[in-house]
Each structure stands twice: as C-alpha cells, then as structure tokens.
Chain A
Amino acid sequence: MFRTMRIYRRSLGAHFRSLLEYEADFWVLIVAGAMFNALNLLFLSAVFAHVPALNGWSYAEAVLLMGVWSVIGGLSPLFFEGVWRLSWMVNQGTLDYPLVRPAPVTVQVFSSGIGLHGVGDIVTGGAMLGWALFHVDVDWTPLTVVIGLVLLASAATIHLSIIAITNAATFWISGPHPFLAIAVHTFEDMIKYPLTIYGAGIRAVYTFVVPFAFVTFFPVSWLLDRSAGWVGLLGPLVAAYCVWLARTVFRRGLRRYDSSGH
C-alpha cells in the first residue's frame, strides 16, 4: 500500500514539475479554472439580489452547495487527470507500457497527468465553502464535524469513481476520445444547484442510476438538517458501491484489452 502511494506521488510529482517548466501557462490555467467559479458565484449573487431564496435555499446555503461542488470537482483534474487519457492509451496501444511495469495499472494511469485548473477550483471553492460555513445555521458538535468530513470524502470518492467508470467504458466503446465520460461529466455540472429544482426524472436518475446527488445535494442537506437530509448518511455506502463497481469495470475492461496489434 505504502509503495503504491509512493509510486503515485512520485509519478504525479514528475508531471507537476514538467508543467512548472512553462510558468505563464501554469498561471493561465489556474486563473482560468478560478474564473468559472467566480462567475458561478457572481450568478448566485446577482440572482439573490432579487430573490430571498432559491427553492427554499438561502444564499449562504446555495453558496455552500456550490463550494462543495467546486472543491470536489477540482480534485479530479489535480489527482486523477490521467484517467482521461485512458481512451487514447487504449486506442494507441500505449497501455502496454503500464501493463508490463511492476506497479498497479490503475495507479500508473491515474497519475499520468495533472490538470492545474484544479488548483483554481479548489482555492475558489474552498473560499466559498469556508465563507458559507460561517454563515449557515448549523449546530456544530465534534460529531457533526467528523460525519461532515466522512461525507465529504464519500462524495469525492463517488465523483472520482464515476469518472473512472465512464472512462473505462473505452474498453468497450472504442475510439480515441472518452466521449461518454465527457458527456456524463457535463451533466454532473448540474449538481451545482439544489437537486430539487429539477424534474422528477432527473432527480431519480441522479439518485439511483448515476448517484451524483450524493456528491453535493444529500450531504449538504444532511449538514443543513433539511428534510430527507438523513439520506446523506448513506453516502459512505454509495461510495463503497461506486468503488466496487469501478474496480470491477476496470478489471473486466483490462481483460478485454488486446493492444492495438503493431
């Protein structure tokens, strides 16, 4: 386990250093990542200048939800960017290299890239999250903090697992670009708003089929003690299920991999 972690860290570190070579690009990416979050926040601020609540959610509550989404969304480019290159590796046959090296294939794939715009997401999202936590009405106890952190970790796990699963679809849907993953990822962006604003069909799909609701809506509802907030406590279970599914899909997929036949 420690060895795996070390390999992951060193591989990621190598990619990070290679990015630092182009200092201007480094800053452009971080700022660009931050800009979209700033605009989402501006949207909420402009709207809440006219209305007191969005579907029963106050300004601070809506900002909290959006902050959670930005922080979690920023984790994937920063620590998981390599998985987006899987379809290219499979298509070109370069997945052969990780397969013959003495380290877990997934670790090598996941750490084969780093997207610095994630820093912008995490910094701006963290600021939103921090500000909102001071302004929402929560009865803080040590237990709330612990459960909150567990739910946040579960949310991140669910988000990353779904990215891994949709990208692993490339073993079945051939092609150099992860179209399915990109499409699903775009739809995930809808969870920056409270799920209740959407129709029943979307709510059902986001809860039972692709459990994006457990990334932002349910854990935040739990923290704010809203109705059906208890569903948020199922987060760790959903996360475990997603990890299991990602693992299974990845293993089956790897077994199907037959190189590109040079």
Chain B
Amino acid sequence: MKPYLSMFLMSARRTFAYRLSALIGWLGGGAILISSLSVWHALLGEGAIAGYDWPMMKAYLVVAWAAGSIGASQGDWRMADRIREGHVATDLTKPVDYQGSRFAEHAGGLATEIPAILIAASAVIAFTGSIPGPANVFLFLLSFACVVPLKFCFTYLTAMLCFWTHNFMGISWAKDAIIWLFSGGLIPLSMLPVWLSVPASLLPFAGITATPAALYLGQATGAEAARLLGLQVFWVLALWFGARLLWRGALRALTVHGG
C-alpha cells in the first residue's frame, strides 16, 4: 500500500507545483459553470422545465460541474504521452501494479479538486442565492465517491488506446463528448429524447453525473436509490477489471523504438 500512498501524495504535490496551469484550468471550468447557469436561469425564468425549477437546477449544475472537475487537474495526457513516447517501458519495470499506480496519481488530484469544488459551490451560493442541500448526505457522498474510480477508468481506457493509435487528442475529445452527453452533464437525462435517455440511464456514464445528482436532489429514494448505487458500483468493478484484460492485450501491441 505504501508505494501507492506516496504516489498519491506526489501527484497531489505536483498539481501545486504547476499552480498557474491548474488555476487557468479552473478558470476555464468557471466559464463553463457561468454559461450553463446563465442559460438555465434564462430558460427557467418562465417556470419549471421537466420538474426542474431554478434552485433545483442550480444544485444539479453544481453537482455536474463537481463531477466534471474530478480528475481534471491530472488531465488525460500524462499516461498517453508516456505510452506514445515509449517511457511506459520504464514504468513496466517498476515492481508496482501499473493500473493501481495510475489510480493513485489520479486520486492525488483530489487535493486541489475538492477545494476547487467547494470554492465554486460557495461562489454560486454567493452570487445566485442558496441552493438546496443534499436530500441524503450519506447516499450522495457514497455515490460521488464512485465518480473518482469511474472517471479514472474512462481516462485509463482511452489512454490505453494510444497503444494502437498515435493521435490522442481526437480520442480524448470523443471520450469527453460521449461522457458529456451520456452522463447528464450536457442536460439532465430525463430531458433527452427517450431513445437516448433509456440507454443512457443504463450505461456506466450515468454514474458520473445523473446518479449522484438524483441522490442529491432526492429524485431517487429507497429501493430506487439502492438500485442506482448498485448499478454504479457494478460499473466501477466491471470497468476496473475490464481495463486489466485490455491491458494484457495492449502490452502485446507495444512497440518501443530505440533504447
């Protein structure tokens, strides 16, 4: 456990070392939060849409933004670059689990992400008035904690595609677009046309925004809440072990030039 803990701490320290880049990243994230709050404020001025009134929507947008921030300080590029440039070969010689190490690094980002989320939430409250608190704090935190490994798995799986392709930018964007749509980050899933919302509710992406938001807003309680959490945990495990399988295949595709 010790090596992973130190990787976690190292990664946390690294984001502090690159303060300016992290700060700009948060500013950019702030622009997204401002535009989504503004557009919904204008839309909900006439009355609630699909069961969402303005205070509820604010809470939804903050949860969605918070989920979007998880992993953002680490970015997708570190692992991808190491694969593309062949440094992954040295990573492979280290006597630690590769996936576990990357996860420790990913989680290290929480040291800056959690304060950023708290600052953003406070700013939203300061500028737009109070937002409703979580309907069930325990269930919400449990579900939000699952966002960390879930987002890690998506980043890890996409970065692994670098074993086969050279251009990571396009793939990374495509992943972001898919997560944005199917997680409920773009718009609450219930507002999507049925042919999109039904598959979206079953896919793993829903666990990133829709599930924590539903638990926060109290849209799901009792058995329904348990079902949603169960589905979320199922996907975490399925993706985590699926990634291990893919990793075995990926190593066979690895070519490192020179030495």
Interface residues of chain A, those whose CB is within 8 Å of chain B, are 22, 24-25, 28-29, 31-33, 35-36, 39, 42-43, 46-47, 49-51, 54-55, 117, 175, 177, 179-180, 182-183, 186-187, 189-190, 192-193, 196-199, 202
Contact = CB atoms under 8 A, between A and B. Distances in A.
B245 interface: no
A177 B75 CA distance: 15
B170 A193 contact: no
B174 A197 contact: no
Contact of A32 (B170, B192, B193): B170
Nearest to B49: A50
B27 interface: yes
Contacts of A196: 42
A59 to B, nearest CB: 12
A31 B174 CA distance: 8
A39 B180 contact: yes
A24 B41 CA distance: 41
A45 to B, nearest CB: 9
B171 A28 contact: yes
A49 B43 CA distance: 12
Contacts of A39: 177, 180-181, 186
B35 to A, nearest CB: 4
B34 interface: yes
Contacts of A32: 169-171, 173-174, 177
Interface string B152-171: 00000000000001110111
B39 interface: yes
A22 B166 contact: yes
Given A32-B177, A117-B173, A197-B38, A43 B166 contact: no
5 contacts: A24-B165, A28-B171, A28-B174, A42-B186, A42-B187
Label chain A's interface by main secondary structure: helix
B38 to A, nearest CB: 5
A134 to B, nearest CB: 23
Given A50-B191, A179-B21, A36 B32 contact: no
Given A32-B170, A51-B49, A46 B28 contact: no
Contacts of A199: 38
A50 B181 contact: no
Contact of B170 (A25, A43, A46, A202): A25
B49 A182 contact: no
Contacts of B46: 51
Contacts of A47: 43, 49, 187, 191
A227 B187 CA distance: 30
B180 to A, nearest CB: 6
Contacts of A193: 35, 38-39
Contact of B187 (A35, A36, A46): A46
Contacts of B27: 183, 186-187
A229 B43 CA distance: 22
Nearest to A29: B170
B126 interface: no
Contact of B31 (A36, A43, A55, A186): A186
Given A22-B166, A25-B170, A31-B174, A197 B24 contact: no
B1 interface: no
Nearest to B164: A24
B50 interface: yes
A154 to B, nearest CB: 24
Contact of B24 (A28, A49, A182): A182
A186 B24 CA distance: 10
B223 interface: no
Nearest to A62: B39
A46 B20 contact: no
A31 B31 contact: no
Contacts of B21: 177, 179
A129 B169 CA distance: 27
